[in-house]
A and B are shown apart, each in its own frame.
Chain A
Amino acid sequence: MADSPEAIKKSIKLYFCIGMLLFMFTVLTVLVATVPALDFGAHGFDGIDAIIGVAIASVKAGLVAFIFMHLNHEKKAIYWIFFGAIAFAVILILLFALSFIDPIIFKGMMPDRIGQ
């Protein structure tokens, strides 16, 4: 990464801007979730809101990872390690979420009872 004092001074400005950007995205994500006019999809929380929320969070996470954590100019080994882990985490999430699609014997998680 850039090690000369000038480059570092320059990147300090960048860090500040990214910080501001992160603040703005945070406000945006709250607005999307709370202001009715910005509510996409059906009224209230639904899949689209989830996608938007996670997308904004991913952008923010990307900014943190690439700028603050210097992933924008990192060595190859680091990319393999970190993105490998992220790939496995995604696999984990997907396969967990899919466990009950196309069920063999599945009606709700358990036979339901109304206690009356």
Chain B
Amino acid sequence: MSADDHHDHHNPPFWQKYLLSTDHKMIGMQYGITALLFLLFGFFLMMMMRWSIAYPDEPVPTWISWVFSDDWKARWLTSGKVEGETYNMFGAMHGTIMVFLGVVPLGFGAFGNYVTPLQIGAPDMAFPKLNCASYWTYLVGGLMMCGSFFLESGSAKSGWTNYPPLSAFADAQHPNQFFTGQTQWLLGLVMLITSSLLGSVNFITTIINLRAKGMTWMRMPFFVWAMLVTGFLLLLAFPPLEVAGIMQLVDRTTGSSFFQPTGLYTDGAAADYAGGGSPLLYQHLFWFLGHPEVYVLLLPSIACVAEIIPANTRKPLWGYKSMVYAVLVLGFLSFIVWAHHMYLTGMGSSVSTFFQITTVLISIPSVVLITSLLISLWGGSIRFTMPMIWACAFLPMFGIGGLTGLPLAFNLVDLHLHDTYYVIGHFHYVVAPGILFGLFAGIYYWYPKMFGRYMNKTLGHFHFWPSLIFINLVFFPMLLQGMAGFHRRWYNGGEGYLPAEGSEDVFALTVQEWIPLNVLMSVSVFCLAAAQIPFVINLFTAWKTGKKVENDNPWDATTLEWATPTPPGHGNFTFDVAVYRGPYEYSRPDCDKDFYPQWHEPKEETSSDLDAGIKPDENH
């Protein structure tokens, strides 16, 4: 690729530049903005749910419910309250949106798309048009799912895991099965899977074939490794879920019974099914994706943190190689742990034992990753920049998430904790203060590269500290409630289980003891929502008013994305990229600056010569 390849002087029309763009950076930003909007929507649904849990008998306050039309409220919010069915709708869609439409597209779609080609020195993804198609299938799938809120049937209501036979009977009373929330959910899911497959094929091909000269496997930044593994997880784990989705679609449209056992009754009569199927089959297919999906969520986030920590401690990533091997092992093991979600299904005990062992095994690579990151801090000269603060918060938060998962790995303990708020607390610790904090760190870190301006630090602090405090106040009480036996699907927060006057029912008394925590959690959620306002303001105002970056490498980092102009033009690099060393060469004694970028030619040179290779393009 020659130096002037990226001067595309013609100005493409709006739709081509912003909507049907094939540039990986624009697609990354499309993914990012869409995913953030979906996250916001998912958060909103969750606020409705939390209101219902804490104040089940009060109408939803107007500052939350103003978005709904009167007809919709009349149908779904009886007397202005969130009823069970509506709660299920919000619950199912909250999970689906957060996992499939929010975090994965943000981590893999947005960061992966934007950063990966830059970090390996590629001009673009291997298949730019496929990349564009991937985004649009994702968007259409997401809108199909969310659009089902406006259908007569409402949206899907069977939880984000969509377990049959509940999901098999959901919306079955509607004559036109196509326009039901459940069917739309499945179709949307098939679209999302297609999008992920297109994306992952593209990512892996790009990483294998489009690495710059000298970018050997062991010189790839950890971020790229994580994306490679994530790509494989998506590629190989999603098809079985697609099978499950298709089979359930067949069940719904043709009346077959893949997942319905013999002898089900509905409406007081035998259901019109042949039977002979098994819900366990669905759970197998679902969790074969479901568990790798956890790592699809996690790896992009941990990858962001792994980039931010070396740049802000000014020392190499501790144990880069062991981290690479750990992430590969993690990728492999994540395919054979899925059934720890299914201990209570009546699966054979030998199989349970097998999965218990692999589940405990997979904590080893996870611990290697998190420990390496932790040790990377040791002895570093830490700069508490905005991304670094988030990254530092990621470590303990993800730690709590991981450690609370250990008891769930054990069959016996899981018998008690299964389907309680403990599980909710555990995986929300992983995903919200863990993964999302890592992704926030990434946003603050790469924002200067995307727009040439830093995000505002004061607003950043107003975002960070309340978020950190309130998110813990939301999720820690869940662990306590869970151990007390609170079930995760109580739409009224356990009100129905309160003891009668003078009752000595132990369970009811326990519920009575722990139920006040609902208020604490719900109030914290509303405060947490308020804490996101500075971020939204920051995101949009820093674009125009933020402090401008001094040069193309504002964080003095070593990886290739900082060798591009700011923001990078079409084709990314303005010179012939070549890589001469590993990704994290910080504070080398033989180098007069405390960082030695990958693209600097190794020669006897003065420090001013060092920058010669990375002059920003004047014509840009």
Contacts and interface: CB of A to CB of B under 8 A. Distances in A.
Direct touching of A and B (C-beta under 8 Å): yes
A109 B261 CA distance: 7
Nearest to A98: B351
B240 interface: yes
B336 A95 contact: yes
A22 to B, nearest CB: 26
Nearest to B288: A92
B349 interface: yes
Interface in B239-283: 240, 261-263, 275-276, 278, 280-281
Majority SS of interface residues in chain A?
Answer: loop
A101 interface: yes
Given A92-B288, A99-B284, A102-B351, A112 B335 contact: no
Nearest to A103: B348
Interface string A64-107: 00000000000001000000110010011001101111111110
Contacts of B263: 110-113
A7 B254 CA distance: 52
Majority SS of interface residues in chain B?
Answer: helix
B493 to A, nearest CB: 31
Contacts of A104: 346-349
A101 B350 contact: yes
Given A95-B336, A96-B284, A110 B348 contact: no
Given A91-B335, A95-B339, A106 B348 contact: yes
Contacts, number: 57
Given A92-B288, A99-B280, A109-B278, A77 B348 contact: no
B208 interface: yes
A109 B276 contact: yes
A3 to B, nearest CB: 20
Contacts of B346: 103-106
A113 B261 CA distance: 12
Nearest to B283: A99
Contacts of A105: 346
A95 B351 contact: yes
Contacts of B284: 95-96, 99
A102 B336 contact: no
A98 B348 CA distance: 8
Contacts of B351: 95, 98-99, 101-102
A102 to B, nearest CB: 4
Nearest to A115: B270
A65 to B, nearest CB: 18
A96 B243 CA distance: 14
A116 to B, nearest CB: 14
Contacts of A96: 281, 284
B236 interface: yes
B461 to A, nearest CB: 45
Contacts of A92: 240, 288
Nearest to A101: B348
A95 B337 CA distance: 11
Nearest to B276: A109
A112 B275 CA distance: 11
Given A88-B236, A88-B335, A109-B276, A99 B347 contact: yes
A41 to B, nearest CB: 26
Contacts of A91: 335-336
A102 B349 CA distance: 6
Contacts of A101: 348, 350-351
Nearest to B284: A96
A85 B348 contact: no
Contacts of A84: 232, 236
Given A85-B236, A88-B335, A100 B347 contact: yes
B348 A99 contact: yes
B262 A112 contact: yes
Interface string B222-245: 000000000010001000100000
Interface in A27-66: none
Interface string B543-557: 000000000000000
Nearest to B346: A105
Contacts of A112: 262-263
A110 B349 contact: no
B526 to A, nearest CB: 43
Contacts of B350: 98, 101-102
Contacts of A99: 280, 284, 339, 347-348, 351
Contacts of B240: 92
Contacts of B335: 88, 91
Given A88-B335, A99-B280, 15 more contacts: A91-B336, A98-B350, A98-B351, A99-B347, A103-B346, A103-B349, A104-B349, A106-B348, A109-B261, A109-B262, A109-B278, A110-B262, A110-B263, A111-B263, A112-B262
The 3 closest A-B pairs by CB, nearest first: A102-B350, A102-B348, A110-B261
Interface of B: 208, 232, 236, 240, 261-263, 275-276, 278, 280-281, 284, 288, 335-336, 339, 346-351, 354
29 contacts: A84-B236, A85-B236, A88-B236, A88-B335, A91-B335, A91-B336, A92-B288, A95-B284, A95-B351, A95-B354, A98-B348, A98-B351, A99-B280, A99-B284, A99-B348, A99-B351, A100-B347, A101-B350, A102-B349, A102-B351, A103-B346, A103-B349, A104-B346, A104-B347, A105-B346, A106-B348, A109-B261, A110-B262, A110-B263
